[in-house]
Structure 1
């Protein structure tokens, strides 16, 4: 999937009013994922994404702290803070980004990403984008 198609799908599926908002939620979600997974896995994920999107993962990996653990609530709060949004909209958009990451990657990369997440966050990422924003 190319950059413009990915961002366009985030905008459409998350019902965002601009491409800028879609870019912001994509960046925020990927940076927060990168804080939660090991750098080797983050590199594998970034390598399968369009360069402009993958850079959102790579820029955070050098700051990875293996002792930092957080679940769904903290994940959503970080996405909301980075995207300058409220938490319900951040949760909805982050689920959309996860859905698109599933479609854009191969080789069970997203399965491996989810294996490293706590149960509540793993379930959140599998919830899909159905529901209200």
Structure 2
């Protein structure tokens, strides 16, 4: 999947314009990079378009994952993107669904296994059959 398609899908799913979708994607991926081990970040980044790879680039101090729960994940995304909790949760779900669609070979499943159970509400929409289908009201 190319970068523009990724951003367009996040925009449609989050019901925002493309510029805002870029911000939401960046906030979510930066937080995800903090939550994953450095090796897993590199594996994930390798399957994404170049602009998203740059967001996920781990630093030497990110080899070990920062073990925080779902509430903290949402709070960090909200802080980075200037969103309240509800909007941040929706943004994370939109990015996760798009991320799952963009990567192959079970890589998303390898990401998900690093999450504790409290991430279930954010991750399950991305795992559901037909999750990639955009539903319009």
Assess same fold via TM > 0.5: yes
User: Does the CA contact (< 8 Å) of 1:46 and 1:53 recur in 2?
Assistant: yes
Structure 1 residue 19 displacement after superposition: 1.4
User: Does the CA contact (< 8 Å) of 1:76 and 1:87 recur in 2?
Assistant: yes
Structure 1 residue 68 displacement after superposition: 2.9
Change in CA separation of 1:34 and 1:122 when aligned onto 2, cut-off 3 Å:
farther
Aligned to 1:4: 4
Provide the alpha-carbon RMSD of the alignment: 1.8
Q: Which runs of 4+ in 1 moved over 2 A?
A: 60-63, 65-68, 127-130
User: Does the CA contact (< 8 Å) of 2:7 and 2:21 recur in 1?
Assistant: yes
Aligned to 1:20: 19
State the TM-score, normalizing by the size of structure 1: 0.88
Unaligned runs of 5+ in 1: none
Distance 1:91 1:119 in 2: 16
Change in CA separation of 1:117 and 1:61 when aligned onto 2, cut-off 3 Å:
farther
Aligned pairs, how many? 128
Structure 1 residue 71 displacement after superposition: 0.9
State the TM-score, normalizing by the size of structure 2: 0.86
User: Does the CA contact (< 8 Å) of 2:37 and 2:65 recur in 1?
Assistant: no
User: Does the CA contact (< 8 Å) of 2:36 and 2:114 recur in 1?
Assistant: yes
